[in-house]
């Protein structure tokens, strides 16, 4: 698959069994958006703890209605042609880093000292990932704006501290 992408706003990657983990900066931004203190992100049902690689990490708690699970910040609207669109209420200022970057992903290996960027469709059925064509964006780390690069660096240091706390076992 070519590294080409243009989001079709289908909402698939914001629903179902998708898991959206938040780093500390993501949580700060969410507190700003909701005007609430950090502990209320859990008590108000926006976040839940999930075990990953032996550590507990916060992720968005999806809502469930009529058997359908979806992100609490997913907003459905009809476009001019009457087609359903899935929009993000947090876009762009408060959006979690992982959602911002998709389909760009990275793999960090602290033991090896490597950091690799790749292209991964945010959902197996993502209609926005396909053959390269007009108007499609080729996603790379180099093409990211500076604020996202600094958020990536912050996130790396956050996971490095967790890795060190686990004595290199993350
Ligand atoms: S699955 Fe793909 S096209 Fe659909 S909302 Fe997510 S990124 Fe956009
Ligand atoms: S935060 Fe926005 S982009 Fe991320 S899963 Fe929720 S609705 Fe989708």
- Which residue(s) pair with 107 in the sheet? 116
Distance spanning both ends of the chain, measured CA to CA:
30
* 89-126 residue pLDDT tens: 999 999 999 999 999 999 999 999 999 999 999 999 99
* 34-47 residue pLDDT tens: 999 999 999 999 99
Indicate whether residue 96 lines ligand 2 (CB < 6 A). Answer: yes
Task: Quote the ligand 2 centre to 34 CA distance (angstroms).
Answer: 15
What is the average pLDDT across 63-91? Answer: 96
What is the average pLDDT across 79-98? Answer: 96
Residue with CA at minimum distance from ligand 1 atom 8: 7
Q: pLDDT tier at 1 (50, 70, 90 boundaries)? A: very low
Burial 63-82 (b: 16+ CB within 10 A, else e): eeeeeeebbbbbbeeeeeee
What is the average pLDDT across 52-66? Answer: 92
**Which ligand lies nearest the alpha carbon of 100?**
2
Which atom in ligand 1 lies closest to the alpha carbon of residue 127? Answer: 3
Domain boundaries, the chain: 4-165
Q: pLDDT tier at 135 (50, 70, 90 boundaries)? A: confident
Tokens of 156: 């790396």
Torsion angles phi and psi, residue 22, rounded to 5: -115, 135
Which atom in ligand 2 lies closest to the alpha carbon of residue 91? Answer: 2
Cα–Cα distance list, 19 to 33, 61, 84, 90 (Å): 20, 8, 22, 16
């Amino acid at each position: 698959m070519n590294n080409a992408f243009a989001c079709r706003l289908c909402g698939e990657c914001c629903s179902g069994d998708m898991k959206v983990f938040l780093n500390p900066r993501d949580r700060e931004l969410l507190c700003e958006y909701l005007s609430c203190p950090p502990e209320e992100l859990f008590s108000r049902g926006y976040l839940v703890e999930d075990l990953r690689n032996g550590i507990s990490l916060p992720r968005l708690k999806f809502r469930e209605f009529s058997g359908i699970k979806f992100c609490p910040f997913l907003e459905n609207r009809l476009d001019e042609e009457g087609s359903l669109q899935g929009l993000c209420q947090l876009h762009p200022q408060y959006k979690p880093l992982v959602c911002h970057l998709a389909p760009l992903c990275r793999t960090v290996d602290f033991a090896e000292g490597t950091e690799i960027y790749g292209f991964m469709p945010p959902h197996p059925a993502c209609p926005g990932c396909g053959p390269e064509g007009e108007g499609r964006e080729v996603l790379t780390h180099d093409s990211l704006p500076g604020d996202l690069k600094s958020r990536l660096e912050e996130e790396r240091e956050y996971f490095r501290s967790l890795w060190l706390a686990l004595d290199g076992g993350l």
